[in-house]
Copies of this chain bind each other. A is one copy, B any other.
Amino acid sequence: MDPDALAKAFVEHYYSTFDTNRNGLANLYQEGSMLTFEGQKIQGASNIVAKLTSLPFQQCHHSISTVDCQPSGVNAGMLVFVSGNLQLAGEQHTLKFSQMFHLIPTPQGSYYVLNDIFRLNYA
């Protein structure tokens, strides 16, 4: 699969899972995975999903504006850089966000997230 198409497919999968069932994201992280969420550093799939499921909103919707990808030079890994809007249920205005993922291939032919950094872009 073309890297840009693969990155877009991952992004669609990640955010649709986030928006419908955050617990389902556990499959995308491993014990060595790292999330920096608004500056807070979290390591390991269990801790990352605990963080994401403890966010102070039940429903949200990500709409993606841009997806950029480059090979990371690490074992056929891929860097994916996303920008978009996050709509929280009951809120009138969306929040702008940027996020980067470092995806590493798994022996099963899929990818997991080794590095994940998320920031809201405050207006």
Contacts and interface: CB of A to CB of B under 8 A. Distances in A.
Interface of A: 32, 34, 36, 39, 41, 65-66, 68, 70-75, 77, 79, 81, 83, 96, 98, 100, 102, 104, 114-115, 117, 119, 121-123
Contacts of A66: 39, 119
A74 to B, nearest CB: 5
B102 A34 contact: no
A115 B36 contact: no
Contact of A115 (B39, B70, B75): B70
A73 B32 contact: yes
B73 A117 contact: no
Given A81-B100, A100-B81, A115-B79, A70 B36 contact: yes
The 4 closest A-B pairs by CB, nearest first: A98-B98, A81-B117, A121-B121, A36-B68
A65 B96 CA distance: 15
A102 B83 CA distance: 18
Contacts of A72: 72, 74, 102, 114-115
A102 B117 contact: no
Nearest to A41: B70
